[in-house]
Structure 1
Amino acid sequence: MCAVTLAGQAPARRRVISWALWDWGSSAFNAIILTFVFTVYLTKAVAPDPDSGSADLGVGLTIAGVCVALLAPVTGQRSDAGGRRKLLLGVHSAIVVLSMAGLFFVRDEPSYLLLGIVLVTVGSVFSEFASVNYNAMLVQVSTKENVGKVSGFGWSMGYFGGLIALTVVLFAFVQPDVGLFGVTSAGGLNIRIVALFCAVWFAVFAIPLFLAVPEAPASGDKLRHNFFASYVVLGKRIGRMWRSERQTLWFLAASAVYRDGLAAIFTFGGVVAAGTFGFSSTEVVVFAIAANLVAGLGALAGGRLDDSVGPKKVIVASLIALVVLGVALVVLPGKATFWVCGLALTAFVGPAQSASRTFLARIVEPEREGEAFGLYATTGRAVSFLGPLAFSGFIGLFGSQRAGMAGIVLVLLAGLAVVLPVRAPEGVR
């Protein structure tokens, strides 16, 4: 059954833009705090040495992953039942903002490492919780006819927002000897001020959603049980899905596999560019900027195609293209190859991500969107080891990063194989 839309008429464009601006703002946490800037600062400048710092950070993020896997479905379920989707999105977003602001106090001394890792871990957990309710809101800001376009627009805003925020912090604070407002690197101030910038960035761009998008009504399941009893309810719900909505469960499992392959593309792209294709640090940054731009444009185009041909066809076509381009990167040498095939490859990541979200939004039962996207987060976390394991395992077996790329291609191929049998319910392409 298609859950789109809760409203009886097409949502106003202002509501769609306000919803997507949340993704624009939240991307600062993923792009700057988790990926390119602050975690690098933690492991290289705050920790006694990069190896121990990376290990400690890995422990923190592992704890975050376990928390998300265990708690996301129940959190989403209870937001559905209580009609508190927007409220919980606001609470979780505020915790992420506060955790980023707190990182300002993490100086470049080993005694601050624990504080930094705790704040990054907390931010990571609540960023995922917020995303569960944000994704569930897709049905409130779209119709059956335009859900693909709206989802693609949201994904593209995430890419573009992260790109703009990263560019600002690099040229305003990170690169210059004396940055904006006279900021220098003394005491790690140039990086700590970036955390404050990210907190303000997210807070400002999240506000329109809370002003323009109404709260979702409560589902028919009233909250008559405590938090722990919610797991019993969830278990019964999964049992019913196994009996009557098995295709939804199969899609959750299948998408988890290929989504981990998609994540691995960005996780290891810079490593491969430098190690296999001889990119300098500057070239890696330029490629990262170009890749995010292309991925955002791809998400926009893929969203429109989603509404025309259906999300599954977009997913399958994107995965086939990713496998073909990945094989080309494995067998062909030269920087030009990486620029052409690498950027072409990123163009298909956004459509696959966006179409996965719309496929679930189209098939989930009405008023169970939070629960469904909670399970979406949990299944993704459950197999989040696949991409890194395939990459590192193939390098260990064959002794080259090219072999590692082949490992990621195999994860994508496995995801394609398991998603092909998924059948959409009647009325969903």
Structure 2
Amino acid sequence: MITANGYYASMGINQLPATEPTREKWLNKYTWAWASWDWGQAAINAVMITFVFTVYLTSELFGDKDHASLVLSQALAIAGVCIALLVPVTGLRSDAAGRRKLWIMVNTLLLVLICAACFFVFPDPSYLWFGALLIAAMSVASEFAGVNYNAVLNQISTPATVGKVSGFGWGMGYVGGILALALVLFGFVQPIVDWPGASTENGLNIRLVALFSAAWCLIFALPLFFVIPETPAASSEKIPLKSSYVVLFRRIRDLWNEDRNLIFFLLSSAVFRDGLAAIFTFGGVIAAGTFGFKLSEVIIFAIVGNVVAALGAVVGGRIDDWLGPKAVILGSLVGLLIAGAGVFFSPEASGFWIFGLLLCLFVGPAQAAARSYLSRLIPAGREGELFGLYATTGRAVSFLAPALFSLAIAIATPLVASGQAQRYGILGILLVLLMGLLLLLPIRTPKQVNAS
């Protein structure tokens, strides 16, 4: 684990003496540059994957809405398999080669290109699978970039500040999402100025949103590209591609012998993080399909929800450094279960507003605390490898929430009125969150370094 005099010092950041760890200066140009990537990524997560493009893709423009939801969940399950097979090896190899930033850059640029390709998803059922596969491909590229991005957390924080820094990154992502969604709403969906790009003919305004999101992602990734230094190689050992899985499994075996608590955390977090991801993936779809939100209403809800989520992430990060990440995750999961049940039982849109915002409040702290929990446990020089396993264990069960979401819809379809089956998908997500909560209970909390 990095100390205040470790990587921080190598980047020229002045640290206070070790006797005053609670006064470390954690908000600096490296933190801002790192969090700026999250700000840019918000256009992919909030606009494309959650609240705008997937709502467009699962609308009546592409045929039956329930069928479109099933297609989207199936495409995301395919993406999960690809990530599970490939991500840990890429993290392992970037650690060994010292090319962490390079791979953030490569995968971010790939993500931008895939996002821009969504411009060619025309509003016709024949384009449904094409659009769903592009969303799935964005998910893969985002995860590849995110593994090395998360690994940078230990470079720019110390044990006393990792919770705050992680929460700050998530908070910046939410704020970036707020601004991106506001620009989409007032520039493309309900334009305050009449211009050709706001035309709804052939879905032009939503297809242009894909180009906007690609540009947003690229522009705000640039500070990380230029400010964060490249990592040195962890060792002189060269790992041939064909041997990567052999090395990976050997290290997993060693980790099992050295720190089973970390292995158990990776497994338990895989389940609850899949539930968290499903909330984002299907939140906008449920708002539109179950509660009848228009696209503009979905975006307004998303803007307010991101404000709430940003506050939750920042406050949760401070509680993390005070009480520990496990307490934050458990409290958040309980809150999510209560709020999710409220959404399911709400007969009207007003209930979705109330309980949906409660969901937003608890998602951010759970995500940030899960990342900081792992950061506290990772041996120095193995960040990419273990965040790769973090992604892989998550993606190894990433079929779970989409599968239970679609299974619940399929079971409910012949039993309820037409157009109401989607509501029952919420129960599938809640079941995943409950399983994650139960699996986390026996996991030990990592040692804390209190910070103000």
Class of the TM-score when normalised by the shorter of the 2 chains: 0.7 to 0.9
Question: Does residue 372 of structure 2 align to residue 358 of structure 1?
Answer: yes
Aligned to 1:171: 186
Aligned to 1:93: 108
Q: Name the SS for the 2:7 alignment partner.
A: coil
| Pairing partner for 1:262 from 261, 273, 276 | 276
Q: 1:3-402 counterparts in 2 under 5 A?
A: 6-8=7-9, 9=15, 13-41=28-56, 60-107=75-122, 116=131, 119-176=134-191, 179-180=194-195, 183-220=198-235, 222-270=236-284, 272-273=286-287, 283-330=297-344, 336-394=350-408, 396=411
State the distance in 2 between where 1:181 and 1:297 align: 36
Kept after mapping to 2: 8 A contact 1:3/1:361: no
Aligned to 1:415: 436
Identity %: 54
Q: Name the SS for the 2:8 alignment partner.
A: coil
Aligned to 2:21: none
State the distance in 2 between where 1:412 and 1:157 align: 25
Give CA-to-partner distance per residue, 1:159-194, whole Å, 9 cap, x none.
Answer: 221222122122212334985455533444323322
Give CA-to-partner distance per residue, 1:202-253, whole Å, 9 cap, x none.
Answer: 1110111122211122113x34232121000000011011111111110011
Kept after mapping to 2: 8 A contact 1:2/1:361: no
Kept after mapping to 2: 8 A contact 1:11/1:140: no
2:8 partner letter = A
Shift of 1:425: 4.7
Shift of 1:281: 5.8
Moved more, 302-311 or 334-343: 334-343
Kept after mapping to 2: 8 A contact 1:178/1:184: no
Shift of 1:386: 2.7
State the distance in 2 between where 1:107 and 1:184 align: 14
Shift of 1:294: 0.7
Instruction: Quickly say closer, same or farther: Cα 1:274–1:94, change in 2 above 3 A.
Output: closer
2:431 partner letter = L
State the distance in 1 between where 2:116 and 2:346 align: 45
Instruction: Quickly say closer, same or farther: Cα 1:428–1:145, change in 2 above 3 A.
Output: closer
Unaligned runs of 5+ in 2: 10-14, 16-24
Shift of 1:299: 0.4
Q: Name the SS for the 1:224 alignment partner.
A: coil
Kept after mapping to 1: 8 A contact 2:317/2:368: yes
Moved more, 258-267 or 20-29: 258-267
Shift of 1:57: 5.1
State the distance in 2 between where 1:265 and 1:115 align: 23
Shift of 1:127: 1.3
Kept after mapping to 2: 8 A contact 1:276/1:402: yes
Shift of 1:124: 2.6
Kept after mapping to 1: 8 A contact 2:190/2:296: no
Q: Name the SS for the 1:228 alignment partner.
A: helix
How many residues are paired up? 428
State the distance in 2 between where 1:180 and 1:291 align: 28
Kept after mapping to 2: 8 A contact 1:38/1:191: yes
TM-score (norm 2): 0.83
State the distance in 1 between where 2:285 and 2:134 align: 26
State the distance in 1 between where 2:66 and 2:406 align: 17
Q: Name the SS for the 2:40 alignment partner.
A: helix
State the distance in 1 between where 2:444 and 2:396 align: 23
Shift of 1:340: 3.0
Shift of 1:410: 3.2
Unaligned runs of 5+ in 1: none
State the distance in 2 between where 1:338 and 1:51 align: 19
State the distance in 2 between where 1:232 and 1:32 align: 39
2:442 partner letter = P
Shift of 1:62: 3.5
Kept after mapping to 1: 8 A contact 2:95/2:233: yes
TM-score (norm 1): 0.87
State the distance in 2 between where 1:186 and 1:178 align: 17
Shift of 1:94: 0.9
State the distance in 1 between where 2:121 and 2:308 align: 34
Instruction: Quickly say closer, same or farther: Cα 1:169–1:275, change in 2 above 3 A.
Output: closer
Shift of 1:316: 1.5
1:228 partner letter = K
Shift of 1:339: 3.1
2:115 partner letter = M
